[in-house]
Structure 1
């Protein structure tokens, strides 16, 4: 079991007055991560890979050390890790990099965040690819046999979330990865909601690309991670070029007038994919966040989060007027729970929880408008109320949340 009270002392944002249940949107950050980033700015603030002087070499060493930690976190090689701004940036980079032809198909699910939908919809308009959706329904549970029927000889890419940011339902990515590999289809995994809670292994999943964000896993904002399988990282031309992606000393352009991309020599991996100065402090901070998660243990974190979610799920089932979204079995979902109360709009419920009970949740469509268009009627306000649990939340906070929801439900039925 986790020593939650000791863990809570590491997070300066936590107070006894407020209950923070929005870690699915952005987790809190421990002092050790903040201190690690502050040390960079105080003691060795310099650019990486740009100088032979002490400050630059120290910054480069700490930066590369962090990349190594992040790579190990997903069982990848450091050469396969590209630092981006966030998950959205990572997915867009792949969408802009892959060479699609008219008629190519990309398969998504109705659970996807807009970040894993709009980049492909743009290509549908711009190039003429076809975007197809698998619909797992209100529960978000995948039927592998039905999903596989969507795949055909025109399917170029499957791009799916690992854990739904609306429901917490877990997508069987390892099974889908095997299917994609057998059929020669590229597979991208949006692991933004999985990285904070589950052990990630790009080799077991057999994905070609994986994206996740630092700020959801105790790290800083402004940093994302893009895993690119080595063979693709070697063969593909990045969407973003310049500022370190090109080895200028090895380029063979005889003059400016004859300069072309074929005469350019790309830098070694992963720098080929790292255009411009990376978020150095943030990368170092994310490396420290990985240390923090590893020291506590993701298995323990997942068990703790699941226990809290199960208490909340069972408690919500007993409150009249509650409509729960997602799987009703705890083992089929992660740390997220979403619901509506009677005919109250989700934004109104979120406001009451904040103003009357000091409980922070997220209310709305959670950037997953396709899901709500499918499961809700036009007369219902789109979206729901979403609560999420993480390593610093307690059983007492869950009980406080359930008591507040019960009070709101009783008022709605008066």
Structure 2
């Protein structure tokens, strides 16, 4: 069965059983909705292929293994990587933490990152800096979220071990110039990690063009299931680095030469072939089936069509909000500089109150607060404790009518409640 395109929204929306005609869902930034094909793929595993993989020599296990490997190959093709470079984790946060606990940091090493980073791409590095006496060098993207590649690159010094940057801000939708940053890192022999959690649902990604050493994203933001993430590790690093997590599946126990129980150590063991070396324990098998189906769905719609749909809705939403008296929109002035996300406040109204009213009175679902980007809000406000803002995100299943309904609701709130 062919996938409907965004030009036929009625048919496409019918693929998403969560959609209700009386509700508007604008929180795809946190988690997208899921089409039936993804649910069906996961159900197929549990009903037809329920066995562990890469261990059994019986038909059921081999069938599950074959489909799991096909899912990994699909993920690899999705970002221009090799299957051996793909590690399936539980989410983006897990992927980034795995890198943090794998790299061999030494006291005095530096990590460069931006004020836009999600907690998942900030907290692991802050903790590592505290534990290993590292230095964090911050690029302040300011209120608009603009990242100047040349200015960020100036922060890279002789002790810089890693540069890490989001591909799309989860607060503003701004898109830092990660390809240019990646080239500079490669020229200087500095490791580069890209948080692609917000990019993967909307943009085609190519790890070779990005010059990244690591790239992380989650299935649940791109029509896939929860509980599965992806970590790309460049081949030479996947081969040479020792995983920060080890266990079942990561070691080739048949090649273990431990002379006795008392003397057994990892020095006597060999790691499994890639990518199993990096996947400790049973991987998310059903979720891999689901992610494979999600990728096929996105490919069926086409990223060109998704981008055009995103752009049309975002222009309509931002322009509409700008017409509301008392609105305060965060991020860039030019709509072309934001991707599918707009965040705002209404005068001095608390964002949580705005979100509550939008839900209870208008049945519109948005996200409120700091959106796990505390550094951005602290920098913008000059102090800690900002309540954040209201964030709305559009995706391939949203409609112009939903956008207009949201703008009218925000206008009514502003007109009624602003002092």
| TM-score where L is the length of structure 1 | 0.98
**Deviation (angstroms), 1:320:** 1.1
3-state SS of the aligned residue for 2:209? helix
1:207 aligned residue: 212
Whether the 8 Å CA contact 1:376–1:382 is kept in 2: the answer is no
Equivalent residues of 1:312, 1:402 under 8 A apart = yes
String of CA shifts for 1:110-169, please: whole Å, max 9, x gaps: 000111011011111111011111001000011122111111111110011000000000
Partner of 1:32: 37
In the alignment, the residues of structure 2 paired with residue 382 and residue 99 of structure 1 have an alpha-carbon distance, to the nearest angstrom, of 37
Where 1:97 maps in the other structure, the secondary structure is coil
Structure 1 match to 2:230: 225
The answer to whether the 8 A contact 1:209-1:228 is kept is: yes
Which consecutive unaligned segments of at least 5 residues does structure 2 have? 1-5
SS in 1 for 2:68: helix
**CA positional deviation for 1:76:** 0.2
Contact (CA 8 Å) 1:169, 1:327: kept in 2 or not? yes
Report how many aligned residue pairs link the two structures.
414
For the residues of structure 2 that align with 1:165 and 1:71, how far apart are their CA atoms?
A: 24
Aligned equivalent of 1:360: 365
Which digits, 9 at most, give the CA deviation of each residue in 1:27-49, with x for residues without a partner?
00000000010011011100011
Of 152, 155, 159, which residue of structure 1 is paired with 2:164?
A: 159
Conservation of the 8 A alpha-carbon contact between 2:143 and 2:330:
yes
Contact 2:370 2:386 in 1 (8 A): no
- Matched residues in 1 for 2:305 and 2:49: separation? 35
Distance apart, 1:413 and its partner CA: 2.7
**1:112 is aligned to 2:114:** no
- How far 1:216 sits from its partner (Å)? 0.2
**Which of 248-257 and 82-91 deviates more?**
248-257
Verify the 8 A CA contact 1:336 1:387 in the aligned structure 2. Answer: yes
Q: Is the 8 A contact 2:117 2:166 kept in 1?
A: yes
CA distance in 1, matches of 2:148, 2:407: 32
- 8 Å CA contact 2:162–2:190 kept in 1: the answer is yes
Shift of residue 378 of structure 1?
4.9
- 2:326 paired with 1:330: no
- The answer to whether residue 401 in structure 2 is matched with residue 411 in structure 1 is no
Partner in structure 1 of residue 200 of structure 2: 195
Q: Counterpart of 1:215 in 2: which secondary structure?
A: helix
Query: What SS does the corresponding residue of 2:267 show, helix, strand or coil?
Result: helix
- Which of 58, 63, 72 is the aligned partner of 2:68? 63
Aligned equivalent of 1:402: 407
Kindly state the Cα deviation for residue 263 of structure 1 after the two structures are TM-superposed.
1.4
* TM-score w.r.t. length of structure 2: 0.97
- The answer on whether the counterparts of 1:110 and 1:133 sit within 8 Å (CA) in structure 2 is yes
Q: CA RMSD in A?
A: 1.1
